[in-house]
């Protein structure tokens, strides 16, 4: 569906590029996560793909058609873009915001009220967006991005700043859209969101892609399975971690025999640990 080859983007003529020679592809109906710390080049990549920024070097091929220059109306009719910062008219109501955006498209759009219901804002539909809380505005921005029933949906930190319940309902909408064959490009620095939602993820640091694979494969390839044991040491509860390999396994069996073991938990590495292992950098 989307094929990106040797993409390059620089904001200055002679400075370090924000995105440097990256290549990846996204299949139809896939959720592709772009993970990296702030300033890694995630948003710039998304901006070039969504047509906000001009393609400087490299190629973007969508449905077999290479992009030339600035994308046209046909492309913008097909995409939805959710930004990290909500982009809403604060003086207009939530309903009027969506109604206005829907009026910009040449294709069938969602009913604004239905979308507001989906994001839990139906009761606040007639209220000025300026009177919304930050989380509500974030949800309105998210709702705006799907008003045109996009085939390709770009989402930048869709759950940032949301309470766990709302974040879960947003994740539910994203999964539902995936089932309807929407291709989703998601940028985040939240590994749990990526792990939960994405079919595949790309790790990006300093404008370069370090790894691309499914979260499961990344963990299998680069992570180590571990066992956490909690035991009693006199009156104190302590814990010890063992890797699940030959030598460590024998040590663990011996440890269990010699200690007053209270709990044993097997564990797999988190995506964040894999990211740190591969890039040498944290995500914040």
Q: Is 187 in the site for other proteins (CB under 8 A)?
A: no
Residue 71: CB minimum distance to other proteins, A = 9
Can you tell me which of 47, 62, 119, 162 binds other proteins, judged by CB under 8 A?
47
Can you tell me which of 42, 139, 144, 149 binds other proteins, judged by CB under 8 A?
144
Q: Is 255 in the site for other proteins (CB under 8 A)?
A: no
The arrangement of strands across the sheet holding 65-66 comes to: 19-26, 2-9, 57-62, 65-66
Question: Which range of residues in 93-101, 188-196, 212-220, 252-260 is near other proteins by CB under 8 A?
Answer: 93-101
Q: Which is nearer to other proteins, 96 or 199 (CB)?
A: 96
Q: Is 177 in the site for other proteins (CB under 8 A)?
A: no
Q: Is 109 in the site for other proteins (CB under 8 A)?
A: no
Can you tell me which of 100, 199, 210, 244 binds other proteins, judged by CB under 8 A?
100
Residue 65: CB minimum distance to other proteins, A = 17
Question: Which range of residues in 48-56, 209-217, 238-246, 262-270 is near other proteins by CB under 8 A?
Answer: 48-56
CB 109, CB 149: distance < 8 Å:
yes
Q: Is 43 in the site for other proteins (CB under 8 A)?
A: yes
CA 245/CA 241 separation, integer angstroms: 12
Question: Count of residues binding other proteins (CB under 8 A)?
Answer: 34
Question: Contacts with other proteins in 51-90 (CB under 8 A)?
Answer: 51-54, 70, 73-74, 76-77, 79, 81, 83, 85-90
Q: Is 110 in the site for other proteins (CB under 8 A)?
A: no
Q: Is 42 in the site for other proteins (CB under 8 A)?
A: no
Question: Which range of residues in 43-51, 179-187, 250-258, 259-267 is near other proteins by CB under 8 A?
Answer: 43-51
Residue 103: CB minimum distance to other proteins, A = 4
CB 155, CB 185: distance < 8 Å:
yes
CA 87/CA 187 separation, integer angstroms: 17
What is the three-state SS of the chain?
CEEEEEEEECCCCCCCCCEEEEEEEECCCCEEEEECCCCCCHHHHHHHHCCCCCCCEEEEEECCEECCCCCCHHHHHHEEEECCCCCCCCCCEHHHHHHHHHCCCCCCCCCHHHHHHHCCCHHHCCCEHHHCCHHHHHHHHHHHHCCCCCCEEEEECCCCCCCHHHHHHHHHHHHHHHHCCCEEEEEECCHHHHHHHCCEEEEEECCEEEEEECHHHHHHHHCCCEEEEEEEECCEEEEEEEECCHHHHHHHHHHHHHCEEEEEEEECCCHHHHHHHHHCCCCC
Q: Is 125 in the site for other proteins (CB under 8 A)?
A: no
Question: Which range of residues in 49-57, 209-217, 245-253, 275-283 is near other proteins by CB under 8 A?
Answer: 49-57
Residues at the interface with other proteins (CB under 8 A):
11, 43-44, 47, 50-54, 70, 73-74, 76-77, 79, 81, 83, 85-92, 96, 100-101, 103-106, 141, 144
């Amino acid at each position: 569906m989307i094929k990106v080859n040797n993409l390059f983007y620089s904001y200055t003529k002679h400075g370090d590029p924000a995105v440097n020679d990256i290549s990846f592809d996204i299949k139809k109906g896939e959720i592709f996560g772009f993970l990296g710390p702030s300033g890694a080049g995630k948003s710039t990549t998304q901006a070039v793909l969504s047509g906000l920024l001009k393609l400087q070097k490299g190629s973007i091929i969508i449905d077999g058609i290479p992009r030339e220059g600035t994308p046209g109306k046909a492309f913008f009719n097909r995409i939805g873009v959710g930004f990290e910062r909500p982009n809403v008219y604060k003086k207009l109501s939530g309903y009027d915001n969506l109604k206005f955006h829907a009026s910009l498209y040449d294709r069938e759009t969602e009913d604004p009220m239905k979308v507001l219901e989906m994001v839990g804002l139906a009761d606040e539909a007639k209220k000025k967006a300026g009177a919304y809380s930050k989380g509500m505005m974030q949800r309105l921005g998210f709702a705006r991005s799907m008003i045109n029933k996009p085939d390709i949906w770009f989402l930048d930190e869709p759950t940032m700043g949301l309470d766990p319940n709302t974040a879960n309902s947003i994740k539910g909408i994203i999964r539902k859209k995936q089932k309807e064959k929407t291709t989703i490009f998601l940028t985040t620095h939240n590994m749990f969101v990526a792990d939960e939602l994405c079919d595949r993820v790309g790790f990006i640091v300093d404008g370069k892609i370090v790894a691309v694979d499914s979260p499961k494969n990344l963990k299998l390839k680069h992570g180590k399975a571990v066992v956490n044991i909690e035991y009693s040491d006199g009156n104190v509860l302590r814990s010890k971690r063992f890797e699940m390999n030959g030598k460590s396994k024998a040590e663990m069996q011996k440890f269990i025999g010699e200690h007053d073991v209270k709990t044993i938990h097997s564990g797999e590495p988190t995506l964040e640990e894999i990211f740190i292992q591969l890039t040498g950098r944290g995500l914040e």
